[in-house]
Amino acid sequence: MTPRIAGLHHVTAVTGDAQRNLDFYTGVLGLRLVKRTVNFDDPGSYHLYYGDERGRPGSLLTFFAWPGAPAGRHGAPQAATTSFSVPPGSLDFWGERLAASGARPDGPFARLDGERFLELMDPDGLRLELVAGTAAPADPGPPPSGPVPAERAIRGLHGVALAEEEPGRTAELLVRTLGFEPAGADGDRSRYVGEDAAARVVDVLRAPGGPRATLGAGVVHHVAFRTPDDETQEHWRRRVASAGPDVTPVIDRSYFRSIYFREPGGVLFEIATDGPGFAVDEPEDALGTSLRLPPRYERERAAIESVLPPLRLPRRGRA
């Protein structure tokens, strides 16, 4: 049986202000900071990971924190929207909470078989959605121990929407190469789903003739898909390469191993292993509380810490 992509591993975006970003994702959305490290290719800047209580694949939104980065341009090709899953019946709660925080949500709206959602932007202008009533992971585990009541808390990622000038080529790669299945359409939006019960949605949006996307604060840098282990990742590396895209060698990111390629429209994709996970270098109950560096940078810790802005970490526990 040919393997299928399970779903999303993480989404990585750009912020221009690490503290403001941290305050929003932990204090407003109630996610847990599960890893505080550096960009492995640019150790003078943070890479912040947010997720569920254990930092599991499928729950993760991460940020390259580039101080003062200019705003990116929304357009195509781009991962235009990142969606989180929230419990059924929680959109009124979230609408009130977001409005009180100044996030100014829009909705709720409905699409594709009555799926209900709120739209919002983070402080950098990253486009987000909270989608109610979507499937939860088979083993959801405890929600983040943050300020949001457990019965309303974000469950993990729901999906991403890709804005494409020529969506057919992207759809072909998703279906024929990565094994996603078509799951309906709504106007210029076509949906494809991975094998998992949750964090599996990729919507492809037809967006011809609009502005050309540019990288910067408030836009997604790349979208990462899950694979369970090194053996399956190697299968995907061969399969993607045979379909045409140039694929990187396997890169060790300490908490997972990754390969990267651009889909036909131009959005950067990653396929990341589930392991070894974030508890490989700090206990689960202490995730995100200290700056973790890959071994090759440990000798430079003092210099790296001297250029990173100080961060005021959130207090954990329910309000």
As beta bridge partners, residue 159 has 83, 201
pLDDT at 317: 61
Query: Of 308, 284, 310, 317, which is closest to residue 27 (Cα–Cα)?
Result: 317
User: Which of 158, 200, 172 minimizes the C-alpha distance to 263?
Assistant: 172
Q: CA-CA distance, 146 to 50, in Å (whole number)?
A: 12
pTM of the model: 0.96
- Write out pLDDT tens, residues 136-186: 555 555 677 789 999 999 999 999 999 999 999 999 999 999 999 999 999
Per-residue pLDDT tens for 203-226? 999 999 889 999 999 999 999 999
Q: To the nearest whole number, what is the mean pLDDT of the chain?
A: 94
User: What's the rounded Cα separation, in Å, for the pair 127 and 109?
Assistant: 15
pLDDT band of 48, cuts 50, 70, 90: very high
Q: What is the pLDDT of residue 134?
A: 59
Domain 8-307 has CATH 3.10.180.10: yes
Q: What pLDDT, on the 0 to 100 scale, is given for residue 140?
A: 57
Helix (H) or strand (E) holding 312: none
**Binning pLDDT at 50, 70 and 90, where does residue 3 land?**
confident
Task: Give pLDDT tens digits for 49-66.
Answer: 999 999 999 999 999 999
List all residues 6 or more positions away from 302 whose beta carbon is below 8 Å from its beta carbon. Answer: none
135 pLDDT more than 60? no
Nearest C-alpha neighbor of 121 from the set 219, 191, 202? 219
